[in-house]
Structure 1
């Protein structure tokens, strides 16, 4: 049972599992923990969806480039636009790929927002290639979840018995 906010209701006799809870991933929820509840189908859908998004994005960029040619803006402007999208896509790919292995710095993320928006094709490609192997971000979340479970286990088994009943050596 849960209340209107979606938090578990422990007052009605049901108990929430002790310890840390896994952080949900976009499109996967918490199915990445045990690879259950449609995880393989979600991975296939995420892979196919990101590849379709890359194809549609490249088609949009092609139309934009044709618009520059129709406007006869010149070869320098056309070359500048192609180089800008290529460099921004490469940087966005690298930034997104690194974000799957470690948490990105929020300040750096905010400062790169414009570059990542221009290089959206690179981010989509990184998502596609990562989803071929795992749910994007699964490795990082699994490491954090396992570390939290180990810390919880150490904390919960550290003390045993009533400390006031211990014999004091004098």
Structure 2
């Protein structure tokens, strides 16, 4: 993934020692999302199809689990609770995963609290991932906004510091010794 000459932001400074900000690599995409090169379109199609195939396999596993409950004759109430639980958890996981593509989580504590809920609703997360692949790499919009902001900050800092300081005219004003 480091085969691309594109710049990744440091957490604090946004630079890597002077060459400018670098884009943060995305899972399955590396930094191909910056210029949409290196098989970006093919990767998006493959990741989306992979997520859909995994979601279909997961739905089959859930179906088999439900049939196991029916064979065990646990009763209609337990069957209903299991179906409602997976449906609600999948809907919440879909929403939280979808929101995660466009903004950073507000707090680590809230993400930790939702981890088990997302694990139960994994089907919703897979579907969100697959649907996002139809328009962009999952998380691309967020990373692009952060990368472009880091580029603007870097350019602003670089242009304000450009030039040879020794060639500048001396500043006159307070502390120059003249009265």
CA deviations 1:29-80 (Å, max 9, x no partner) are: 0000000011011001001000001100000000000000000000000000
TM-score normalised by the chain length of structure 1: 0.87
Unpaired segments of 5 or more residues in structure 2?
Answer: 3-16
Q: Distance in 2 between the 1:17 and 1:54 partners? A: 44
Unpaired segments of 5 or more residues in structure 1?
Answer: 3-15
**1:134 CA displacement:** 0.3
Equivalent residue runs for 1:98-137 within 5 Å: 98-104=99-105, 105-137=107-139
Could you say what secondary structure the match of 2:34 adopts? coil
Could you say what secondary structure the match of 2:69 adopts? helix
Q: Distance in 1 between the 2:136 and 2:83 partners? A: 32
TM-score normalised by the chain length of structure 2: 0.83
Q: Extract structure 1 runs of 4+ deviating beyond 2 A.
A: 163-167
**1:161 CA displacement:** 3.4
2:134 is the alignment partner of 1:95: no
**Which residue matches 2:57?**
56
Q: Distance in 2 between the 1:82 and 1:62 partners? A: 10
**Which residue matches 2:11?**
none
Return the match for 2:164 from 151, 161, 166: 161
Instruction: Report how many residues are paired.
Output: 156
**1:167 CA displacement:** 3.1
When the two chains are superposed, the root-mean-square deviation of aligned CA atoms in Å is: 1.7
